[in-house]
Structure 1
Amino acid sequence: MSIIVPVYNEAAHLFESANKILSVIKPLVEMCEVLFVDDGSTDESWAVIGKLQEADTCFKGVRLSRRFGKELALCAGLERARGELIVVMDADLQHPPELLPEMLRLQREEHFDVVEAVKKTRGIDAQTSAGSASLFYKLFHQLAGFQLEGATDYKLITRRVLDAWLTMPERNVFYRGMSAWLGFKRAEIEFDVSPRVAGASGWSRFSILKLAVNSITSFSSLPLHFITLLGCLFMVFSVCLGALTLYYKLVGTAVSGFTTVILLQLIIGSMVMIGLGAVGT
Structure 2
Amino acid sequence: MVPGKLAIVVPCYNEQEVLPQSLSVLQKVLQQLQSQQQISADSQIVFVDDGSQDQTWSLISQFSQTNANVAGIKLSRNFGHQNALLAGLSTVSDADFIVTIDSDLQDDPQVIAQMVQQYYAGAEVVYGVRNNRDSDSRFKRTTAECFYKFMNFLGVKLVPDSADFRLLSQRAAQVLLDYPERNLFLRGLVPLVGFPSAKVYYRRQPRAAGVSKYPLFKMLHLALDGITSFSVAPIKLIMGLGLVIVAVSLFLLIYTIIQKIRGDVVSGWSSLMISIWGLGGIQLICISVIGEYIAKIFNEVKRRPRFTIEKNLYHKQKHEGKND
Same fold (TM over 0.5): yes
CA distance in 2 between partners of 1:69 and 1:122 (Å) = 25
1:187 to 176, 181, 198: 198
| CA–CA distance in structure 2, aligned partners of residues 145 and 120 of structure 1 | 21
Partner of 1:100: 112
| Higher RCO (CA 8 Å, separation ≥ 6 residues) | 2
Output one character per residue of 1:58-81: Cα deviation in whole Å (capped at 9) or x when no partner. 211111222222111111111112
Asked if structure 2 preserves the Cα contact closer than 8 Å seen for 1:123 and 1:195, the reply is no
Q: Tell me what 1:3 maps to.
A: 8
Which amino acid counterpart does residue 91 of structure 1 have in structure 2?
Answer: S
| 2:172 is the counterpart of 1:130 | no
CA distance in 2, matches of 1:126, 1:202: 17
State the alpha-carbon separation in 1 of the partners of residues 164 and 117 from structure 2: 19
Letter in 2 for 1:84: D
CA contact under 8 A between 2:128 and 2:199: conserved in structure 1?
yes
The C-alpha deviation readout for 1:57-107, integer Å capped at 9, x for no partner, is 221111122222211111111111221101100111112221111111111
1:2: Cα distance to partner?
A: 1.3
Q: 1:126 to 1:107 in 2, by over 3 A?
A: farther
Indicate the SS of the match to 2:53: coil
Deviation at 1:231?
A: 7.1
- What is the RMSD computed on CA atoms of the aligned residues? 2.7
1:88 aligned to 2:100?
yes
Corresponding pairs, count: 245
The structure-2 alpha-carbon separation of the partners of 1:149 and 1:85, relative to structure 1 and needing over 3 Å to count, comes to: same
For 1:54 and 1:140, locate their aligned partners in 2 and report how far apart those are by CA, in whole Å.
Answer: 44
Deviation at 1:172, TM superposition (A): 1.0
Q: Using the TM superposition, name which of 153-162 and 217-226 deviates more.
A: 217-226
Q: In structure 1, how many angstroms separate the alpha carbons of the residues matched to 2:178 and 2:244?
A: 39
Amino acid at match of 2:49: D
User: Aligned-pair distance for 1:226?
Assistant: 3.3
Are 1:177 and 2:188 counterparts?
yes
Question: Offset at 1:23?
Answer: 1.8
Give me the whole-angstrom Cα distance separating, in 2, the residues matched to 1:55 and 1:18: 12
Query: Which residue of structure 1 lines up, in the alignment, with residue 18 of structure 2?
Result: 13
Residues 6 and 39 of structure 1 are in contact (CA less than 8 Å); yes or no, is this contact kept in structure 2? yes
Deviation at 1:236, TM superposition (A): 10
- 1:198 aligned to 2:209? yes
Counterpart contact for 2:158–2:188, Cα < 8 Å: no
Tell me the amino acid that sits aligned with residue 199 of structure 2: E
1:72 to 65, 83, 87: 83
Q: What SS does the corresponding residue of 2:211 show, helix, strand or coil?
A: coil
Distance 1:17 1:128 in 2: 28
Cα distance in 1 for partners of 2:203, 2:196 equals: 24
Which residue, out of 122, 125, 136, partners 1:111?
A: 122
CA contact (8 A) 2:156 2:188 kept: no
Identity, % of aligned positions: 33
State how far apart, in whole Å, the 1-side matches of 2:67 and 2:159 are: 36
Unaligned runs of 5+ in 2: 1-5, 251-282, 295-324
Q: Following TM superposition, by how much is the alpha carbon of 1:204 offset from its aligned partner in structure 2, in angstroms?
A: 2.4
CA contact (8 A) 2:158 2:187 kept: no
Return closer, same or farther for 1:127/1:64 CA change in 2, 3 Å cut-off.
farther
Deviation of residue 119 (structure 1)? 0.3
- Relative to 1, partners in 2 of residues 1:126 and 1:230: Cα closer, same or farther, differing over 3 Å? closer
Does residue 58 in structure 1 map to residue 58 in structure 2?
Answer: no
2:254 equivalent in structure 1: none
Deviation at 1:114, TM superposition (A): 0.8
Contact 2:47 2:72 in 1 (8 A): yes
Q: For residues 32 and 228 of structure 1, what CA distance do their matches in structure 2 show?
A: 53
Match of 2:30 in 1: 25
CA contact (8 A) 1:141 1:148 kept: no
**Taking structure 1 as reference, are residues 161 and 78 closer, same or farther at Cα in structure 2, changes over 3 Å only?**
same
Does the 8 Å CA contact 1:123/1:192 hold for their aligned counterparts?
Answer: no
Determine if the alignment matches structure 1 residue 120 to structure 2 residue 120: no
Tell me what 1:263 maps to.
Answer: none
Aligned partners of 2:224 and 2:73: how far apart in 1? 28
